[in-house]
Structure formats: C-alpha cells, structure tokens
C-alpha cells in the first residue's frame, strides 16, 4: 500500500466484529515493534499480548477497549530507558509511542483496524498484570476488524488544524 494511502486509511475504530486476528498478522505487527528505533537502541519496553477472555477482561477493568478481540498493552521500562543527563528526562514514553505507532500502521497495512487507548487506570493495570515497579503501562493498542461506517476522508480537512497553525519555518 502506498504510504499516504495507509496513513489516510487508518482511523480510530471503536466498534469491532468478533473475528479473531490471524496469528500471522499479529506476528508482523509485533515485528514492526521489534525493529522500531528507540533512544540509544535501549529498547526499554515490554508488550503484553491480550488475546483471551481473561487478559482482555483485565484490560477492560482499567479501560474501554471496545470489545475488541485483541489488544496490546505497551509498557515502558523505567530502568532500561535512556536518561538525558541535562534534565533527567527518561525516554520510555517517546520510545513506546514510536513502537505503538509502528504497530498501528502495520496493523493498517495488514487490513486490520485499531484504536490507541491512553485513557486507562494505570494502578488497575499494574495490579491486574502484576507489573513490577520498573514497568509502567503507557499505551494500549486495540486491534481487530471494525464494523460500522468508516469516517470520511474529509475529516483530515475539517477536523485537523491547518498547516500554518502547526508549522513555522525558522522562527516560532
Ligand atoms: C496518544 C493517544 C491516545 C488516545 N487515547 C484514546 C482513548 O483512550 N480512547 C479512545 O477512544 N481513543 C483514543 N485515542 C484516539 C484519538 O481520539 C483519535 O486518534 C483522534 O481523535 C483522531 O481520530 P482518528 O484516529 O480517527 O483520525 C487516542 C489516540 C492517541 C494518539
């Protein structure tokens, strides 16, 4: 698929059929995460694949995952993340966002639908998945086959800011 076609095809899908995601497609999605760039190549992340009733139920206690058949819990590793010496900033939120973006776009490439979920209760996820202190849940990528109407491509014109509002050259 041409790259911009893929970018325009993706949308936040909030209604799913029961159809399971093929394991070969999931493997490609996870490979897209594995090869993603991270700060200093430290790869400070863990992905928990939730594809059964028990783990999807645990996620559902913390977030709306729209009854999808598959969701990936992306955790940042605070102990392995790159640390910027000048201000102490840790890279795990940036690294995991790149990883999640890679997986989301590969999901579109595989003909799947997705929605990125950050509106979750972190304490519940930490407890339900027995996460150690160094692992922080940062993103949930919900995946499956959407049902319902696809949003119109006109949203990129109507519901996105104009370029001039977002970008400036050589000064603010
Ligand atoms: C970092 C991030 C967090 C998001 N969190 C949620 C969420 O918790 N629940 C949800 O339904 N959608 C969530 N979304 C989806 C956005 O609302 C959606 O991508 C945005 O409104 C643009 O719509 P589109 O993806 O259909 O183009 C999130 C998206 C991003 C990138």
Q: Which tens digits make up the pLDDT trace of 71-98? A: 999 999 999 999 999 999 999 999 999 9
From residue 145, alpha-carbon distances to 1, 49, 66, 148 in Å are 18, 17, 12, 10
The number of the ligand 1 atom at minimal distance from the alpha carbon of 156 is 27
Of all residues in the chain, the percent with pLDDT exceeding 90 is 99
- Residue 39 inside a domain? The answer is yes
Residue-wise pLDDT for 91-141, tens only, equals 999 999 999 999 999 999 999 999 999 999 999 999 999 999 999 999 999
d(CA 33, CA 28): 9
d(CA 28, CA 23): 9
**Measured CA angle at 72 (ends 8, 120), to 5 deg:** 90
The pLDDT of 142-168, averaged and rounded, is: 96
Residue 65 reports pLDDT greater than 80: yes
- Residue 55 inside a domain? The answer is yes
- Residue 100 inside a domain? The answer is yes
Total domain count for the chain? Answer: 1
d(CA 69, CA 19): 7
- Residue 172 inside a domain? The answer is no
Contact status, residue 137 vs residue 124, Cβ threshold 8 Å: no
Q: Rounded to 5 degrees, what are φ and ψ at 165? A: -80, -20
Query: From atom 13 of ligand 1, which residue's Cα is the shortest distance away?
Result: 117
Query: From atom 16 of ligand 1, which residue's Cα is the shortest distance away?
Result: 12
- Residue 29 inside a domain? The answer is yes
**Mean pLDDT score of the chain:** 97
pLDDT confidence of residue 1:
75
Cβ 36 under 6 angstroms from ligand 1: no
- Residue 17 inside a domain? The answer is yes
Q: Give distance in angstroms: CA of 151 to centre of ligand 1.
A: 14
Look up the domain containing 161 and give its range.
Answer: 3-166
Query: From atom 6 of ligand 1, which residue's Cα is the shortest distance away?
Result: 117
pLDDT confidence of residue 27:
98
Cβ 117 under 6 angstroms from ligand 1: yes
- Residue 171 inside a domain? The answer is no
pLDDT confidence of residue 37:
98
Residue 62 reports pLDDT greater than 80: yes
CATH number, domain with residue 100: 3.40.109.10
Of all residues in the chain, the percent with pLDDT exceeding 70 is 100
- Residue 108 inside a domain? The answer is yes
The pLDDT of 9-25, averaged and rounded, is: 98
Residue reference for tokens 């992905």: 47
The pLDDT of 156-169, averaged and rounded, is: 97
Q: Give distance in angstroms: CA of 53 to centre of ligand 1.
A: 24
């Amino acid at each position: 698929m041409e790259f911009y076609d893929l970018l325009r095809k993706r949308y936040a899908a909030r209604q799913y059929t029961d159809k399971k995601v093929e394991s070969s497609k999931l493997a490609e999605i996870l490979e897209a995460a594995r090869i993603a760039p991270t700060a200093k190549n430290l790869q400070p992340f863990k992905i928990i694949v939730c594809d059964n009733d028990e783990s999807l139920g645990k996620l559902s206690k913390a977030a709306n995952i729209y009854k999808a058949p598959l969701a990936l819990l992306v955790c940042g590793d605070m102990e392995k993340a790159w640390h910027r010496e000048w201000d102490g900033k840790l890279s795990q939120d940036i690294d995991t966002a790149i990883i999640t973006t890679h997986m989301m776009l590969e999901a579109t490439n595989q003909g799947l639908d997705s929605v990125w979920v950050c509106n979750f209760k972190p304490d519940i996820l930490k407890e339900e998945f027995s996460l150690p202190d160094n692992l922080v849940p940062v993103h949930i990528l919900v995946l499956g086959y959407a049902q319902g109407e696809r949003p119109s491509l006109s949203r990129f014109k109507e519901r996105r800011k104009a370029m001039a509002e977002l970008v400036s050259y050589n000064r603010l």
